[in-house]
Amino acid sequence: MEQKRNRLKKTYEQVADHFKRLIEQGALLPGQKLPPMSELAVRFGVSRATVREAFSSLVGMGLIDLRHGEGTFVRRFDVQTMVTEPMNAALLLGMGELRELLEIRRLLETGAVRYACERAGEEALAAAEAALVESGDPADRDLQFHLLLAGCAGNNVMLNLVNTLAEPIRSLLREIHAELDDPDELDREHRAILQAIRARDSVEAQRLLSEHLARTERRFATRYRQGDADLPS
């Protein structure tokens, strides 16, 4: 299945994916200058136009900067950038920092779902359920569901903390949803969590949510263990 996806990707997308992985893995660091396009074209066996299109894609994702007369650089960022800009900011973190981000997410959300079982009203639960059938970007819908669950806890400080992680988590979810063989898989997991909350079963709701988030983390780890398998030949 993965090989089929790679064949369907355009060449410039494969080149862009390669650089995304190098940045995510820390092989390319913020502020580091990339080789000239002509050199990269020879290295990958593609045209300069292909490299230029790949770089344009990476600029659009907020991962690199093109500086006229200077060259191409991995974008510098800080935590404030990560939580405020609607881009793939999470990919600029190293794997160690990504694991920490996901650990904090799991701690916050499993805590929130415990209180949701005690406090969630019908209106809040109906809003979370409605998020599962909304149209639009699957990653946006996924994130919205989790934010609404956090809101069911009735704790504004906790909700603000979960919201702080929203943009980097959205970046990760887009990567995960792009690789799913069964697009409805995550929705089924979401519905099971919601059903446990409606039943006011905090033990079951926390178990289901923790397992759901753990699977999400494994999916992301698998996605980035693929390394350079999709490089153009």
Q: Per residue in 137-154, pLDDT tens?
A: 888 899 999 999 999 999
Question: What pLDDT score was predicted for residue 95?
Answer: 60
pLDDT band at 229 (very low <50, low <70, confident <90, very high): very low
Angle between helices 11-24 and 48-60 (to 10 degrees): 50
pLDDT above 50 for 3: no
Amino acid, res. 216: T
CA distance 211 to 189: 9
> What is the SS3 assignment for 49?
helix
Report the alpha-carbon distance of residue 53 to residue 225 in Å, rounded: 25
H helices within the chain, ranges in order?
2-8, 11-24, 37-44, 48-60, 79-84, 95-119, 122-131, 138-151, 156-164, 166-179, 185-198, 202-225
Backbone angles phi, psi at 223, to 5 degrees: -55, -40
Both tokens assigned to 93: 């973190």
- Measured between alpha carbons, how far is 210 from 105 in angstroms, rounded to an integer? 10
pLDDT for the residue numbered 230: 43
Q: Which two structure tokens, joined as six digits, stand for 169?
A: 């988590």
Q: Which residue has the tokens 């093109």?
A: 66
pLDDT-based confidence at 228, cuts 50/70/90? very low
The residue with greater pLDDT, 95 or 103, is 103
Cβ–Cβ < 8 Å for 231, 14: yes
The full set of domains in the chain, from first to last, is 2-76 (1.10.10.10), 83-225 (1.20.120.530)
Is residue 80 within 8 Å of 39, Cβ to Cβ? no
Per-residue model confidence (pLDDT) at position 91: 52
Crossing angle of helices 122-131 and 138-151, in 10° steps, is 170
Distance (Å, whole) CA 172 – CA 150: 19
Contact 117, 154 (CB under 8 A): no
Token pair 């809101």 is found at: 151
